[in-house]
Amino acid sequence: MPDFDEEAPADNRAIRTLLEAVDREYGAVLSLKFPYFPHSHDRIPRPGSEEMAKELTRVDEVLPEVVDEVDVLVIGNEPFIECPEADRTNGAINDFYETVAAHVIDYRARNFPNGCKTVLYMGSLNHLDEPDEWINSGTDRWMEYVRDTPEIEGTDIHPHVDKPDGAQAYLDYIVPELGDKKFLVTEFSLVHLWKDHLSDKIPAAYAEKYGVPADTEVWQVIRNALKKPFPKQRWYDLLRESPWFESNKHYLSEQMAKFRATGKLAVATCGIGQDAAMSGDDFDAQSTPWLLNSIYASATVRPEPNGAAAPNYAWLEDFKRAQNG
């Protein structure tokens, strides 16, 4: 949202790209991101304050561009991460997002009295697999608001976890609280499991095949691929020979089945390409390897002969199957 202090929403690359997809008859989900922490370290605005009025002005600039265009508007991105810790349990985070939601609800009702294509969700909850730290009075009030507000269809979740059954904790928390509402999963992955293995020694078979020192660590090979993209087979061999990856290569299908089995899944999405934020020169053993989640290996693998990005290992066929239910 702070981007709109510098540019009009109609000129924003993310919004333009999404609306172009809508024109091509794709479904579209747009999340409104209010990054109060760690990006700015500001306390979250309180209703009635000058800072709150400024935020609602930004919202008013966006809504005419996207309401009745996108299918789903998510109010928030990762609110409990993107606000100071002190504001997560004192009511401030709930007051803020409920105020924004009421503003959006009022806009939609006034401008589309006969019905609107765009439905509203609250988003999104993180780290529910760490309940001692991340499930609290703020998340409980969040779910109560979702359940009891007729104009809100449900909540979004972002289960990035460190074990194959890690996302179950999210479902165990939200599903009983949803009532007749549904949930989105606009991000999900095993990225924290991948991170746990970045300092592993590379597979012996990979080291022998490509003449790489046996004590090389996984993160070093990934960094080399980012600096000079690999032939597709070499990237595939790295992941295929890594048991922590190979044994989870159907995670996308397996997790989609669990989401759908609740009967409450509305939409799930996953990342398509390895974008610039994933592929900086500073990739090291402490980096979060988002790039292993992407459907296409656009940064670590050389383009296909026709110039297209090569598929990342393992995900593409499961991604296609998921779209057929």
* Domains by residue range for the chain, with CATH: 2-188 (3.20.20.80), 193-247+273-325 (no CATH)
Q: What is the mean pLDDT of residues 191-215?
A: 98
pLDDT above 80 (res 279): no
41 confidence band (pLDDT: 50, 70, 90): low
Strands (E), the chain: 29-32, 72-75, 119-125, 152-157, 182-185, 265-268
pLDDT of residue 36: 87
What's the pLDDT band for 37 if we cut at 50, 70, 90?
A: confident
Average pLDDT, the chain: 95
When pLDDT is cut at 50, 70 and 90, the band that residue 247 belongs to is very high
193-206 core/surface letters (b: 16 or more CB in 10 A; e: else): bbbebbeeebbeeb
What is the percent of the chain where pLDDT is above 70? 98
Residue type at position 247: S
The CA distances from residue 294 to 127, 201, 271, 272, 275, in Å, are: 21, 23, 5, 5, 9
- Band of the pLDDT at 180, cuts 50, 70, 90? very high
Would you say residue 325 has pLDDT above 80? no
Span 157-178, mean pLDDT?
98
Longest dimension (CA), the chain: 67
pLDDT at site 72? 98
Q: Is residue 162 within 8 Å of 193, Cβ to Cβ?
A: yes
pLDDT score, position 318: 95
102-138 confidence digits (pLDDT tens): 999 999 999 999 999 999 999 999 999 999 999 999 9
Of 42-56, 90-104, 269-283, which has the strongest mean pLDDT?
A: 90-104
Q: Look at residue 275 and tell me whether its pLDDT is greater than 90.
A: no
- 38 pLDDT band, cuts 50/70/90, is confident
| Of the candidate ranges 168-172, 182-186, 318-322, the one whose mean pLDDT is the lowest | 318-322
With a cut of 90, say whether residue 259 has pLDDT above it: yes
Going by pLDDT thresholds of 50, 70 and 90, the confidence category of residue 40 is low
Instruction: Report the half-sphere exposure of 174 (CA within 13 A, side-chain side).
Output: 33
* 204-244 pLDDT per residue, tens: 999 999 999 999 999 999 999 999 999 999 999 999 999 99
CB atoms within 10 A of CB 30: 22
pLDDT of residue 263: 98
The per-residue pLDDT for range 78-96, each reduced to its tens digit, is: 999 999 998 999 999 999 9
What value does the mean pLDDT take over residues 135-150? 98
Q: What is the pLDDT of residue 121?
A: 98
Helix or strand run (H / E) with residue 235:
helix 232-240
In this structure, is the dihedral angle defined by the CA atoms of residues 296, 34, 129 and 120, taken in order, positive or negative?
Answer: negative
